[in-house]
Amino acid sequence: MDFAWSDQQRELLNAVGRFASQQLNYDVIENDREGIFNHEAWKKCGDFGIQGLLVPTDYGGLGTTVAALERLGYACRDNGLLFSINAHMWTAIIPLVYNGSEAQKKKYLPGLCNGTLIGGNAMSEPNSGSDAFSLTTTAIKKGSRYILNGSKIFVTNGPIADLLVVFATVDKTRGTDGISAFLVEKNSPGMNVARKLEKMGLRTSPMAEVFFENCEVPEENLLGKEGGGAFLFTRSMTWERGCILASAVGSMQRLLETCIRYANERKQGGQSIGKYQLVASKIVDMKVRVESSRHMLYYYGWLSGHRKSVYLEAAMTKLHIADCWVKCSEDAIQIHGGYGYMTEYEVERELRDAIASKLYSGTSEIQRNIVASMLGL
C-alpha cells in the first residue's frame, strides 16, 4: 500500500486547505450559539467542488480521495457545516451514483455537486432506534405514484433539504425485502418538515422531524428497485461509516497543533506546561490517536479504491475515529484548563461536536456488534 500523494493530488489537497482556511472560518462562534446554517459557505464549497468529490465528472464532480475531506476538517472550524456536507454526500449523492437511473442522475447530481441543491436522508423513525429496518413508514403504489405515510426523525439537513432519500415499506410481509427508497423533493404535497431539533453540538447543521401524510411520489422517483431499499441503505452506510469522520481526523490534527502551541506558550512554575510529564503525555496520546485514525481512514480508502470488501473496516474506522475524537477533545480542554472551557477559545465546541460521532451512522455499540459478528462471535 502506498499512501503517498501524486503532485496533482497534493496540489488539490493544498488548494482545499487554502480555500477552507480563507473562505469558511467566519461567524463560527455566533452561528454555533444561534444554531445558524451557513448557506453562503455551503455555496462556496459547491463552487469549489467539495460536495462532488466522489462523483464521476460526467455529472459535475471532481473525483478524489478522503484526504481532501481530512484537509477540509483541518482547515475549517465549522464542524456542523462539514457534517451537513458529509450527510449530503454519503446519504444522498452516493445512493444516486450507485442506484439512480440515468434520468435521475442527470436531473439531480449536477445541482447536488455544485451546491445549488441540498440533499439528506430520511431513515430513522421515533421507535426504530438502532434497528434501522423496523420501519412503520409505508409506501403504497397507486397507478403511477407511490403514497407515503409515516414520520422520520433526526433528519440531517431536513429544514434546508431540496431532496430527501426516504425509506419506506412497500410490503411488510417481506420484511427487509419490502423496503424501498424514494427521492422526495422539497414542498412535495403531503410532506411536512415539522420542527427544527435543538442539539448539544453540531449546531450549525440543521436537523428536523419530517412527516408524510398521503405524500404522492412519482414512480420515476423510486430509487433503485422496489424492495431494494435495505441493500441500498446498507451500501450507503458502509460508505458513510468509512468516510464520514475523515474531516474529524483533520480536526484532531488541528487540536493537536493547538495544544502543542498552548503547552509551549503557557508558563507555570517558571517553565512551559509542556515540560510537565502529565501534560506532555496527553499530547503524545493525542498524536498516537491522530496517526492511528489517519492510518485506518487511508486503509479503508485504499481498500475501497481497489474494490475490496470493506464492511468490517468501515465499522472499525468509524468506531476508532469517534472514540479518538472525543478523547482528543477532552484532553484538549484539560490541557487548556479553565480557558478550554471558555467559548472564545473554541475548544469546548470540539467536544460538543465530537460526542455525536459515537451516535450517528450507527452507535459505537452497533459498530462493536458488527465487528464481533464479522469475527464469528
Q: Which residues are tagged catalytic?
A: 240
Distance of CA 44 to the CA centre of its chain: 18
DSSP-derived letter for residue 49 is T
CA 134 from chain centre, in angstroms, equals 23
Asked if residue 108 lies in contact with residue 100, where contact means CB atoms within 8 angstroms, the answer is yes
* Residue type at position 34: E
d(CA 118, CA 134): 27
Buried/exposed code over 105-138 (b: 16+ C-beta within 10 A; e: otherwise)? bebbbbbbbbbebbbbbbbbbeebeeebbebebb
* Distances 13 to 16, 40, 130, 131, 214 between C-alpha atoms, Å: 5, 22, 36, 38, 46
Alpha helix segments (H runs only) across 270-363: 277-305, 311-336, 348-355
Q: Is 119 helix (H, G, I), strand (E, B) or coil?
A: strand
Question: Given the C-alpha cell 457534517, which residue does it identify?
Answer: 83
In the chain the first and final C-alpha atoms are separated, in Å, by 29
CA distance 344 to 339: 8
What backbone torsions phi and psi does residue 153 show, to the nearest 5 degrees?
A: -135, 165
Rounded CA separation 191/22 (Å):
38
